[in-house]
Amino acid sequence: MPEGILLLIPVFLLILGAEFVNGWTDAPNAIATVVSTRVLSPSRAVIMAAVLNIAGALVTGTAVAATIGKGIVRPEVIDQHVVAAAMLTIIIWSTVAWFYGIPTSESHELIAGLAGAGLAAAGPSVLLWAGWQKVLIGLGISTFLGFSLGIGIMTGLYWLLRRSRPSLVRKLFSRLQILSAAFMAFSHGSNDGQKFMGVFALTLMLGGVMTQFTVPIWVMLLCGTVMGLGTAVGGWRIIRTMGFKLTKLEPVNGFAAETSGGLSILLASAFGIPLSTTHCINTSIMGVGATRRFSAVRWGVAGNIVMTWVITFPVCFVLGYLFTWLFGVIF
């Protein structure tokens, strides 16, 4: 049996392991605000997030999956050891961040891990500039657009509701926030839900199972289910940081944050741009909190989150490189 086929099972297990950890650390971002405002219980929010993440990935196409699977590194010059090294990087780094309750970006871990692993395997020519342009655009969308939309939507709501009774506002947005949380979960699936599907499809190509890049329906369903299980098992740590520690949220604030985050993500997904959904919802929450007063955001917590974002790229790049080198020595 060819070596590529033999490697499929362990590499698939590593991909699913990374997707499960993604459920711990990234998917909870989609439901953190609706849980913190007590509009939905954690169990109901997790079920909703799991279903709509899968729906988002199924309905919105595979443009993001294609960018990850064949736009970051050249598929024709790498092998499954590169994918395995990148997945191992994600599992280790995400687990460390999750242990400390810090939301991290699996998108940036995946991209940096693939780049480092690919560089170790095939040198600088392995990197594809067209895909990296989309990554840089995604970084701008998730950081600046999320924050700006959060401020803009919340400011508009304050103006519209300026003469409304607080009890009426809370009652109205306790219902509307269910819709905005559903929208956020759907948009999360449209972008983040596709990334590991892209890696799965890439591995099928490298193993000789497929001759061209496509994402089968069973891959979409499997990855979405595993991510939902990860959220159910360990998502509460991240929900607590995002929903309770960053700033105080009422249902109207949660609605604004989820809407701005969801719009930013769907815009990126439409153009096949992989971006950090963690960044989107984090910056949206910061923007919403800053409309009350600048000090309403706990900037110490925000600083820890941002610092994790900053060091994720170099750390995961180095880990991906080292794991590929190690696999080369062993195998």
Give per-residue pLDDT as tens, 204-229.
999 888 888 888 989 988 887 887 77
**pLDDT at position 38:** 80
Q: What is the DSSP string of 269-327?
A: HHTT----HHHHHHHHHHHHHHTT-GGGS-HHHHHHHHHHHHHHHHHHHHHHHHHHHHH
Over the stretch 106-129, which tens digit does the pLDDT of each residue have?
788 999 999 999 999 999 999 998
**1: confidence class by pLDDT, cuts 50, 70, 90:** very low
**pLDDT at position 247:** 61
**pLDDT at position 293:** 67
Q: Using CA atoms, how far apart are residues 199 and 223, in angstroms rounded to an integer? A: 11
Q: Which two tokens stand for residue 148?
A: 């700006």
Q: Which two tokens stand for residue 321?
A: 């490189």
For residues 45, 270, 105, 34, the Cα torsion angle rounded to the nearest 10 degrees is: -20
Specify the 3-state DSSP secondary structure of 138. helix
**pLDDT at position 120:** 94
Residue 158's nearest CA partner among 39, 30, 290, 246 is: 290
Residue type, 250: E
Q: Using CA atoms, how far apart are residues 181 and 161, in angstroms rounded to an integer? A: 21
Q: Where are the domains of the chain?
A: 3-325
Per the model's pLDDT, the better-predicted residue between 244 and 248 turns out to be 248
Per the model's pLDDT, the better-predicted residue between 277 and 169 turns out to be 169
Per-position b or e across 53-78, b if 16+ CB within 10 A of its CB? bbbbbbebebbbbbbbbbbbbebeeb
Mean pLDDT score across all residues of the chain:
84
**57: confidence class by pLDDT, cuts 50, 70, 90:** confident
**pLDDT at position 4:** 55
Q: Which long-range contacts (CB under 8 A, 24 or more apart) does 122-131 make?
A: 122/73, 122/74, 122/77, 122/78, 125/74, 125/77, 126/73, 126/74, 126/77, 126/78, 127/72, 127/73, 128/71, 128/72, 128/73, 128/74, 130/71, 131/67, 131/71, 131/72
Per the model's pLDDT, the better-predicted residue between 105 and 74 turns out to be 74
* Residues 123/325, Cβ–Cβ less than 8 Å: no
Q: What is the pTM of this model?
A: 0.84
Tell me: pLDDT of 97 over 90: no
Residue 142, CA distances (Å) to 147, 179, 250 in order:
8, 21, 23
**pLDDT at position 103:** 65
Q: Using CA atoms, how far apart are residues 90 and 67, in angstroms rounded to an integer? A: 18
Over the stretch 142-201, which tens digit does the pLDDT of each residue have?
878 888 999 999 999 999 998 889 889 989 998 899 999 899 889 888 888 788 899 999
Tell me: pLDDT of 92 over 60: yes
Helices H / strands E in the chain, number of each: 14, 0
**pLDDT at position 199:** 93
Mean pLDDT of 16-34: 78
Q: Using CA atoms, how far apart are residues 292 and 240, in angstroms rounded to an integer? A: 21
Q: Using CA atoms, how far apart are residues 252 and 331, in angstroms rounded to an integer? A: 55
**pLDDT at position 3:** 56
Q: What is the DSSP string of 11-72?
A: HHHHHHHHHHHHHHHTGGGGTHHHHHTTSS-HHHHHHHHHHHHHHHHHHS-SHHHHHHHHSS
